[in-house]
Amino acid sequence: MSKRIAGPEIERLIQLLAKVPGLGPRSARRAALHLIKKKELLLAPLSAALAEALEKVRVCSVCGNVDTADPCTICTDPRREQATLIVVEDVADLWALERAGAMNVRYHVLGGTLSPLDGIGPDDLNIAGLVARVAEGGVAEIVLAVNATVEGQTTAHYIIDRLAGLEVKVTRLAHGVPVGGELDYLDEGTLAAALKSRTAF
Amino acid sequence: MSKRIAGPEIERLIQLLAKVPGLGPRSARRAALHLIKKKELLLAPLSAALAEALEKVRVCSVCGNVDTADPCTICTDPRREQATLIVVEDVADLWALERAGAMNVRYHVLGGTLSPLDGIGPDDLNIAGLVARVAEGGVAEIVLAVNATVEGQTTAHYIIDRLAGLEVKVTRLAHGVPVGGELDYLDEGTLAAALKSRTAF
């Protein structure tokens, strides 16, 4: 647009909001207008929350989670079982597993998966940190909760190789039919895996 | 979730992001994580942009637009034709018309439409301000660019009544086939209006 219709501050806000995942250029404009209209109710608290996050949030030096404390709330929680670590690719996966709430244990965030095509090698992931945590002792089981993708599985195999010689049990998530899933819509690989791992009724 | 997995600052950021139009609870989590990961590239500038918007953005006392200047950039632009005012419901409509860039004129933002069911009467809209601008003189035409909804049209008729006796031409947007639109998918009312307002080839 050649004509100026508003101060550069509003244009800049829209451009930045458009970079937030889930918002595009169009919805960023709507979001900016909404924020400006709800100045006291939303813009002010959101501005404060972002400033606080910017100031306080850091990456946990133990597990790679993000939190305002380092070590993070999960690593320092004394009620969590200490002998099991769940290895995830990303903090988002950690949050998803916590919402599932099935295991009261600690985590290790890799920060991605091995991907030679994207130039991501073992040194770009927090694998050395995982080996060090296991070598320190006190960890009896590692659950490799990486995605069921080629990259995820490659990373899992690499981690197993790196842990060779250390006294630790390595497990992975079960494959099967998602809860609420319809067989008709599932791929053959999943169905074959669900049949192979069938359990007694 | 009963277990604490992160500091309250992150939870609060997610809750606030979920109130931004276009983001829900799920995408707010993704957005928060993305912001935290892109601390320098996105979180810091967005935090600054929101703080600046909070401090500087205000409603234009002349037309109701939002801007960092009052009167706004559009109202004070000397290159705009002064004799025509486009009346819109919302600032979003003003922005949309500016993007179309078809008329280089000024605006008047009503701030909504008459809606007795929602308890929105004439005093809740910036109609008195419009009448005052016209009464001051210098406005030859008013384009009622309200939505083609029942509320929009009711508001248009009410404004025409209020302007009765003032020397001003009142026009409205043309009805017709949207550019790129397929006849097959259009409602009968639009097709009838497009036929009625047909123009020479």
Topology adopted by domain A8-56? Helicase, Ruva Protein; domain 3 (1.10.8)
Query: With an 8 Å Cβ cutoff, is B104 touching chain A?
Result: yes
Q: Mean pLDDT for chain B?
A: 91
The one-character DSSP state at A39 is I
CATH 3.40.1360.10 fits B83-172, yes or no: yes
A124-142 pLDDT per residue, tens: 999 999 999 999 999 999 9
Contact B81, B105 (CB under 8 A): yes
Interchain CB distance below 8 Å, A39 and B54: yes
Topology adopted by domain A66-172? Dna Topoisomerase Vi A Subunit; Chain: A, domain 2 (3.40.1360)
Radius of gyration of chain A (CA): 22
Contact A57, B10 (CB under 8 A): yes
**Number of CB atoms found within 10 A of residue A94's CB:** 27
Beta-sheet strands, E only, within chain B: 58-59, 66-67, 84-88, 106-109, 141-144, 169-172
Interchain CB distance below 8 Å, B7 and A56: yes
Phi, psi of B103 (to 5 degrees): -130, 135
Residues B53, B67: Cα–Cα separation, whole Å: 9
Interchain CB distance below 8 Å, B45 and A16: yes
Residues of A in contact with B99 (CB under 8 A): 1
Residue where the block lists tokens 């219709």: A5
Q: State ipTM.
A: 0.79
The SS3 call for residue B49 is helix
Q: Give the bridge partners for A107, in sequence order.
A: A86
Give the residue extent of every domain in chain A.
8-56, 66-172
Nearest CB to B1 within list A7, A66, A99: A99
The one-character DSSP state at A106 is E
A41-96 pLDDT per residue, tens: 999 999 999 999 999 999 999 999 999 999 999 999 999 999 999 999 999 999 98
Nearest CB to B5 within list A20, A27, A74: A74
DSSP B160-184: HHHTTTSS-EEEEPPP-PPTT--GG
Residues of A in contact with B102 (CB under 8 A): none
Q: pLDDT tens digits for chain B (201 residues)?
A: 445 667 788 999 999 999 999 999 889 999 999 999 999 999 999 999 999 999 999 999 999 999 999 999 999 999 999 999 999 999 999 998 988 888 899 999 999 999 988 999 999 999 999 999 999 999 999 999 999 899 999 999 999 999 999 999 999 998 888 888 888 888 888 888 888 888 888
Please name the residues between 48 and 77 in chain A that touch chain B, using a CB distance below 8 Å. 49-54, 56-57, 65-69, 72-74, 77
